[in-house]
Structure 1
Amino acid sequence: MLKRRSFLAGGAALGLSACGLPARDMAPPLSPRIPPQAPVMPPLPAHYGAITDEPFPIPALPENVVPPHLWRQEVDNPFPHDPPGTIIVDPDAGFLHLVGQNGRAMRYGAGTGADAFAWSGDARLQFCRSWPRWRAPDQMIARQPELAPYSVANGGMAPGPGNPLGARALYLFQNGEDTLYRIHGACEPEYLGQAVSSGCVRLLDHDVIDLHERVQHGTTIRVLPSLAPARFAGLY
């Protein structure tokens, strides 16, 4: 005859085993989480290397920052009804196209105006400047008083590293009047293709130098209207 103590101990053990899952139903151990790896971009083209023959040195672009679709490249012209020489900016795509000959165009990655500062329409390329002075408009100083030392009255900011216009600036006019909008350099590589400026069209310094060598004064510049939702507004 089983003693009462032995029976209870055996029953308790039976109860514990009955509450456990059979080995075949137990969940497998969790594997360690492997963080996703950033895509590896191909090496940058040679034309994005350091530029040392300008008045101010332009460093090489860092690798793995600018995606290949924003690199300067010749493409099929998506605007066949515009004459050669026309500049067309698509803010939502982050592209500037310079219409060329024989159905081709040069395409550049471009940073454009944020929603609060977006500008669109047709303008005339009145003139260009190499390493221009930057003069903060009064409207910008009203928003950012710390920029007052760079106002028109104070002579603006001298050219060189840190100047928001970068290596070149193309000046947009309508009906003979300055729109105060520019196509210019000094776009930080990480912001290329994004809407983070106060209406101006920003290119990499490497690209704005190339564009400046190709354009003619008096050409038409068309900035397409943005259909994207509101975006971040930066300084320039």
Structure 2
Amino acid sequence: MTSHISFNRRSFMAGAASLMALTAAGCTTTTPRQTTPAVPPPPPIPESVRLMYAALPEEEFPVPAVDLRYVEPRYFRQRIDYPTSEAPGTVIVDTTDFYLYHVEEGGTAMRYGAGLGRAGFEWSGRGHIAYTRKWPVWTPPSEMIDRQPELEKWRRGQPPGLDNPLGARALYIHEGQRDTIYRVHGTGEAWTIGHAVSSGCVRLLHHDVIHLADRVRPGSTIIVS
């Protein structure tokens, strides 16, 4: 991963076409919502990992423990060696390997497993995290409602909660003063981590997005490539 990344692998399709594409993408949950897949054989999971993803009853909307049977061990949150020319505090999303890195001092980073956007909905480039929100309201763009009429009931916003597509936290990605419509947000669908399923956004497990949001400062650079 290099420190100089063009702001969009598609060059944002230029001008008004770009804005329409971004607005049409937005964030949503798996569409249509997938049923829970068959339970795979449980891998050996360290107790430290189980504790890291245990239930969070103190949250405004209590978060259940993650069903770790659905998460590949390589996507568990962990601190790794990560030499980079990017400044500490930078968020880097590796869309090839489905990782999100939060760069730390001393050549390390906290690495999280991520779910990413389906082909045709991805956003990539260099921007900044304008702000974060706890248990945000989600409002689907009009173009998304046109594609999915069942979302009409949320035209004025879906209240926060475990069923809200933005989950426990959302980090809002801006390009300059413009909201790109893309977010880093939470999900309870553990089986989507490591896969391309959402309409454009970067999704982390609720536990991981809470951990990240507690540490990211507004204005931090985010690179998606």
TM-score range, shorter chain: 0.7 to 0.9
- State the Cα distance separating 1:120 from its structure 2 match: 0.4
- State the Cα distance separating 1:41 from its structure 2 match: 3.2
Structure 1: gaps of 5 or more residues: 1-36, 225-236
- Which of 49, 54, 63 is residue 58 of structure 1 equivalent to? 63
For the Cα contact (< 8 Å) 2:186–2:209, is it kept in 1? yes
Q: Distance in 2 between matches of 1:123 and 1:87?
A: 10
Structure 2: gaps of 5 or more residues: 1-39
Q: Distance in 2 between matches of 1:192 and 1:204?
A: 8
Q: Distance in 1 between matches of 2:67 and 2:188?
A: 13
Q: Distance in 1 between matches of 2:209 and 2:171?
A: 9
Alignment map for 1:85-96 (pairs within 5 Å): 85-96=89-100
- State the Cα distance separating 1:139 from its structure 2 match: 2.1
Tell me the percent identity: 48
**What do you get for the CA RMSD once the two structures are aligned?**
1.4
Deviates more, 1:136-145 or 1:84-93: 136-145
- State the Cα distance separating 1:137 from its structure 2 match: 1.1
For the Cα contact (< 8 Å) 2:127–2:175, is it kept in 1? yes
Whose Rg is larger?
Answer: 1
- State the Cα distance separating 1:40 from its structure 2 match: 2.5
Q: Distance in 2 between matches of 1:60 and 1:166?
A: 14
Q: Distance in 2 between matches of 1:200 and 1:41?
A: 30
Q: Distance in 2 between matches of 1:112 and 1:189?
A: 13
Q: Secondary structure at the match of 1:203?
A: strand
For the Cα contact (< 8 Å) 1:41–1:67, is it kept in 2? no
For the Cα contact (< 8 Å) 1:41–1:68, is it kept in 2? no
- State the Cα distance separating 1:92 from its structure 2 match: 1.6
Change (3 A) 1:121 1:187: farther
Q: Distance in 2 between matches of 1:189 and 1:39?
A: 14
1:213 match: 214
The answer to whether structure 1 residue 181 and structure 2 residue 182 are counterparts is: yes
- State the Cα distance separating 1:63 from its structure 2 match: 3.5
Q: Distance in 2 between matches of 1:126 and 1:63?
A: 31
Alignment map for 1:71-86 (pairs within 5 Å): 71-78=76-83, 80-86=84-90
Q: After the TM superposition, which segments of 4 or more aligned residues of structure 1 sit over 6 Å from their partners?
A: none
Alignment map for 1:155-174 (pairs within 5 Å): 156-174=157-175
Q: Distance in 1 between matches of 2:56 and 2:42?
A: 27
- Which of 126, 138, 144 is residue 142 of structure 2 equivalent to? 138
1:41 match: 44
- State the Cα distance separating 1:42 from its structure 2 match: 2.0
- TM, length-normalised to structure 1: 0.75
Q: Distance in 2 between matches of 1:114 and 1:193?
A: 12
For the Cα contact (< 8 Å) 1:134–1:159, is it kept in 2? yes
For the Cα contact (< 8 Å) 1:187–1:202, is it kept in 2? no
Matched positions, count: 184
